[in-house]
Structure formats: C-alpha cells, structure tokens
Amino acid sequence: MKLTPFHERTLPLNRMQMWFNWDRHIVPDTYAGFAAELKATREGVSMGDMSPLSKYEIRGPDALRFVDRLVTRNVATIAAGQAFYSPWTDERGKVVGDGLVFRLAPDVFRVSADPQQEWFAVQADGLEVGIEDVTDGFGLLAIQGPRSRQVMDSLTKGSWSDLTFSRIRTATVAGAELLVARQGFTGELGYEMWVPADAGADVWDAVTSAGAPFGITAAGEHAIDVARVEAGLLIVGADYTGAGPDRPGSVIDLSPEHEASPYELGMDAFVDLDAEAFVGRDALRAELASGGPRRRLTGVEIDRDRVLALHAADGQVPSIPDRVWWYPLDLTHDGRPVGWASSVTWAPSVPALVGFGHVDADVGGPGTELVVRWTLHGGDDQVPARVVELPFLELRRSL
C-alpha cells in the first residue's frame, strides 16, 4: 500500500487508528468520530484527503479528439479553465467509469476518476495523444462546507466569491502552485486542490492554520462516503459495475448484472447525443428509441424501526448501519423482484435510513412501496421501504 502526500499530517490526527484501503493507498477512515466530521462538513468546514483518486493528464495535437471520443458530453462547449463531470461508455452504452475532466488548455486535459489506464489506452488508438498517470504526483485535498469559501479567502489572502461551480484557477499556497476547482463530493460548497506531492505537509499545515478560526475539522473516508450518499452521488463498484477492463479501485466483488447505461443511473443530463461521435452513442440512441431504460435510479427510504426490531428479536444490540453498505440488497414490489438497493446507510443529515434504488422503470415513482431483503443482521428478513426523490438533501455546492 502507498501513503498519500498528506499522510505525515493525517497519521497523528487519526486518534482511532482506523484506516481505509482505497485503491493502492490508505487514508484515515475516522479521525475521532464520523458524526462530528460529517456535521462539520454540513454546518461548518472540513478537510479531506481524496488523493487515492486516479489522475491522468492528457495532452497532444489530438487531445480534444480523444476526449470527444471518450466522454458523453459535448466537449466543444467546455472552455479552458473549466471542469465538467461526465460518464464514459463502451460500445454497448454501458458505463465504464465516470469522473471530473479539467480542460486546462485547448489541448491539455486532466481527469480524476477510478483507475482507467487500460480503457483510455484503447480509446487513444490511432490518435496523436499522450496519456500520463500522474496519480502519485499530486495530493487531492478537499475543503468542503458552508465556511469553505472563508477558509480559501484566508488561505490565499484573496476573494473566491467569483469562482463559480466547476470552474478552476491556480493559487499559491505555502510556496506551491495549486490547481483549485470549485467542486466536491459532499453536495456542499467546496473546493478541491491538486497539491504537488512534495508540498503535501506544508499545504496541509497552511490550510489547518487558515481554517482554525472557522473550526475546520479533518474528515475521514467514513464521513465523506456518507456525505456523498446524502448528496445522491454514485461511485463505481458500490453503485454500478464498470464495464471496462481496468481493475476497480474498490476491494469488493463486482457483478456484470450491475452494469448500467447512463440513463439507468440517472445521468441523463450528462449525455449529449448530438455531440461528436463518442463510444457508445449509437447504443444510447437505440436505448431511447426502444422505449428508454429498463431500470431507473431512485432514492429508497427504509423502515428503520423494523430494522431495529429485527436486531432486537435476534438478541443483538438494536442498531442500523452507519457505514455505507457497498453490497446490493434485493428489492421487491408486490412480491416480485424489481431490482436492488445500493449504498444503504444511516444518513444523519436527513435523518433516515436510505440507499439508492436500481428498480424496474415502472415502479420508480416517488411513494411506491417496496420491500428490502434485509441480511445485514445475519438473518434474512423483509423490511418495508418506499421510493423517494434524489438527492436526499438540498445540494448547496453550486450556490
């Protein structure tokens, strides 16, 4: 396992010595208590180590042609200095992966996502483009929460009020030049900083100092994972199986059954069928022409009282999962199988026991009554649930 550029600073802060295995790295899972770390993200400001995300730099005469071939968005509309989210699909229209694409110059891009080296290499065939894995060259530090802008203002001695959502700029912190994006994986106002690896400790110290008056709190992967579920954000592995050849960044077993199109994952807004011909475009057009996706992504709210009663009846301490459950739980409607729930967790900010529903299109309406096959207590029981709208809470990241 590798250590991130911030490990020298996160190690002494991790009082619980709980670590999370993320791809080839380890990061703190919980520093002192995930509930307090999540609360800081929602009500104040937190800082989280997102460095294990794979990072690729794409440059060369055919860089734009490559990205056009890859993503489901219209790249021609994306100006330099802008970041955008996109999935990318295979020839069948199934999602291979998804992530952020940064356009730094007309022919220079960066991508942060799950590992994609093999898939990118296949799509670059015949093009004059270089793709470099720069994962180890940068730490990724996320500053998230309603007070994150105040921290950035203090950190840089300037104003960040004019940087709108998904725009990027550079900043000098602790003598290091950083790429900063108005982005995040929590649904809150926030910023992600690409930090040169050798400046990790110094930048961490500078952010800690600038954030102290605002109560900045280090947030571990546990809190970040729950935050992204509350915000309705999916991850490959837990919520769908990537259709490409690369090894996943997660450590769970994946099933081809959970491959999905962008439309099945609620990514409709990120597909432009009038864009340059990208891999999978014809398959996605055919999917819509044939009546649309067979499944739809929904929110699912699960009866927590029933779950507590099941645990108590089995002689266990009554509890509900405060971690995000990364394995699917079967869903039924009127006794027939209709799909599964993913990323089930207690969401303190809602508050409710929630997950993502991947259900047959005809039962995806809000209020539809479902049943979850509940196996998380060691038994095999049926728990009532209902379809709700996503996201589970109001997103403030673009305000």
pLDDT tens across 10-23, in order? 999 999 899 999 99
Q: Tell whether the model's pLDDT for residue 289 goes beyond 70.
A: yes
351 and 305 assigned to the same domain: yes
Q: Tell whether the model's pLDDT for residue 124 goes beyond 90.
A: yes
154 and 211 assigned to the same domain: yes
Q: Is 213 a domain residue?
A: yes
Of the ranges 193-197, 245-249, 256-260, the best mean pLDDT one = 193-197
Name the band, by pLDDT with cuts 50, 70 and 90, for residue 65.
Answer: very high
Q: Tell whether the model's pLDDT for residue 253 goes beyond 70.
A: no
Mean pLDDT of 71-94: 95
245 and 339 assigned to the same domain: yes
Q: Is 113 a domain residue?
A: no
Mean pLDDT of 197-225: 98
304 and 394 assigned to the same domain: yes
Predicted pLDDT of residue 285: 97
Name the band, by pLDDT with cuts 50, 70 and 90, for residue 255.
Answer: confident
Mean pLDDT of 251-257: 75
Spell out the residues 6+ positions from residue 198 whose beta carbon is closer than 8 angstroms to its own.
5
Q: Tell whether the model's pLDDT for residue 161 goes beyond 70.
A: yes
184 and 303 assigned to the same domain: no
Q: Is 153 a domain residue?
A: yes
203 and 251 assigned to the same domain: no
145 and 248 assigned to the same domain: no
Name the band, by pLDDT with cuts 50, 70 and 90, for residue 254.
Answer: low
End-to-end CA distance of the chain: 38
CATH of the domain at 12: 3.30.1360.120
Q: Tell whether the model's pLDDT for residue 252 goes beyond 80.
A: no
Query: Which of 32, 3, 28 has the alpha carbon at shortest distance from 15?
Result: 32
377 and 351 assigned to the same domain: yes
39 and 151 assigned to the same domain: yes
Q: Is 386 a domain residue?
A: yes
139 and 181 assigned to the same domain: yes
Alpha-carbon distance of 182 to 175, in angstroms, equals: 21
Q: Where are the beta strands (DSSP E) in 106-225?
A: 108-113, 130-133, 138-144, 168-173, 176-181, 190-196, 217-218
Domain that holds residue 308: 234-260+294-399
Q: Tell whether the model's pLDDT for residue 291 goes beyond 70.
A: yes
Name the one residue in this structure whose structure tokens are 């209020």.
367
The answer to whether 135 and 55 are in contact (CB under 8 A) is yes
Name the one residue in this structure whose structure tokens are 């599964």.
340
- pLDDT tens-digit readout, 306-351: 999 998 888 888 888 889 999 999 999 999 999 999 999 999 999 9
Mean pLDDT of 360-379: 91
Question: What average pLDDT does the chain have?
Answer: 95
The C-alpha R_g of the chain, in whole angstroms, comes to: 21
Q: Is 269 a domain residue?
A: no
Alpha-carbon distance of 323 to 308, in angstroms, equals: 16
Q: Is 337 a domain residue?
A: yes
